[in-house]
Amino acid sequence: MSKYRLLREAVDAQMPELRVQEALPATDGELALAHEPDWISAVAHGHTTAAQQREIGFPWSERMVERARRSVGATIQAARAALVGDKAKAEGVAANLAGGTHHAFAHKGSGYCVFNDVAVAARLMQAEWHRHHRQLLRVLVVDLDVHQGNGTAAIFRDDSTVFTFSMHGGRNFPFRKEPSDLDVDLPDGCGDLDYLAALDESLAQVWQRHPAAQQPGLAFYLAGADPHEGDRLGRLKLSHEGLAERDRRVFSALREHRIPVVVVMAGGYGRDIDSTVAVHLRTLQQAHQSWQAWAGAVALQECTP
């Protein structure tokens, strides 16, 4: 858990150009867009069973509830910033310094995830977009955590407006996968070259399955640090440079298709916590570079007669 504090400190020290805001807690109504009321109530009032707490991986506490709500709230705020932004202009890129709780299902938590922040934020952005524009907002989830996004896949299983793409360790947790719209299983020990080749092929498939008339209007990118070769739980062998190139390719592809993106940190369990924080920080640096390119393109469009 200390990686979140260390990441925030690293951002303050090394990326003062970022505008950092305090996360607001998600409300019961917002959570209910992706979660069953009984689960929300059980978490809020401390009625989770011992078995449910074991599946999540930590005990219930008021602090846990507050953190879970704010983790969702931060992704909501980032989504609004990416999609709308100041002066009714999309920022194009925004991030949650935590988030990526993709193992949470509609009816339960799992794998250190209580509520599914991406699922809640996606549904809320769709509702707000329709209210303001009377149009459908299609959403793309790019999940590059080393573990499959089973909770997200289950929540959106029958929802054609949200495309879920997960590239993960095939033999890693969860051992019973839920089918995403696009799943890519990687072998243990997969390194930079094979990983990036699989990513390129997968992104090509994503665009093939989204003709211009069905282009996503918003993307969520789960930029897990756990594919790193030093991760205790990852079982893949990506280097720091390989992960930075992963991020660059994702941001470049989304920017090319003019899709605003919300970045969430997802997993990271390095033997050396500083190494995990360094991966997350570099993701944010890549995100900032993509934001600069996005803002520059918007400025150029405004100047074009």
Residue 289 to residue 285: CA distance in whole angstroms: 6
**What is the arrangement of strands in the sheet containing 261-264, beginning at the earlier edge strand?**
93-96, 261-264, 218-222, 139-143, 162-169, 182-186
User: Which range, of 25-34, 209-218, 219-228, 262-271, averages the lowest pLDDT?
Assistant: 209-218
Question: At 119, is the pLDDT very low, low, confident or very high (cuts 50, 70, 90)?
Answer: very high
In percent, the amount of the chain with pLDDT more than 90 equals 92
Residue 146, token pair as written in the block: 């080393």
Segment 156-176 shows an average pLDDT of 96
Mean pLDDT across the chain = 94
Strand partners, 113: 110
State pLDDT tens for residues 256-266: 999 999 999 99
Residue 111 to residue 104: CA distance in whole angstroms: 8
Per-residue confidence (pLDDT) for residue 135, from 0 to 100? 93
Residue 284 to residue 97: CA distance in whole angstroms: 9
For 12, the 3-state DSSP assignment is helix
Per-residue confidence (pLDDT) for residue 87, from 0 to 100? 42
For helices 62-83 and 117-133, what crossing angle results, to 10°?
Answer: 40
Of residues 141, 144, 84, the one with CA closest to residue 116 = 141
State pLDDT tens for residues 269-301: 999 999 999 999 999 999 999 999 988 776 555
Of residues 96, 117, 147, 226, the one with CA closest to residue 109 = 117
Element (H, E) at 55: helix 50-56
Instruction: Answer left, alpha or beta for residue 75, where phi above 0 means left and psi between -120 and 50 means alpha.
Output: alpha
Segment 88-107 shows an average pLDDT of 92
Per-residue confidence (pLDDT) for residue 164, from 0 to 100? 98
Number of H helices, E strands in the chain: 10, 6
Per-residue confidence (pLDDT) for residue 1, from 0 to 100? 83
Per-residue confidence (pLDDT) for residue 302, from 0 to 100? 55
Per-residue confidence (pLDDT) for residue 299, from 0 to 100? 57
Per-residue confidence (pLDDT) for residue 274, from 0 to 100? 96
Contact at 8 Å (CB) between 200 and 127? no
Burial 175-188 (b: 16+ CB within 10 A, else e): eebbebbbbbebee
Segment 226-242 shows an average pLDDT of 97
Per-residue confidence (pLDDT) for residue 86, from 0 to 100? 46
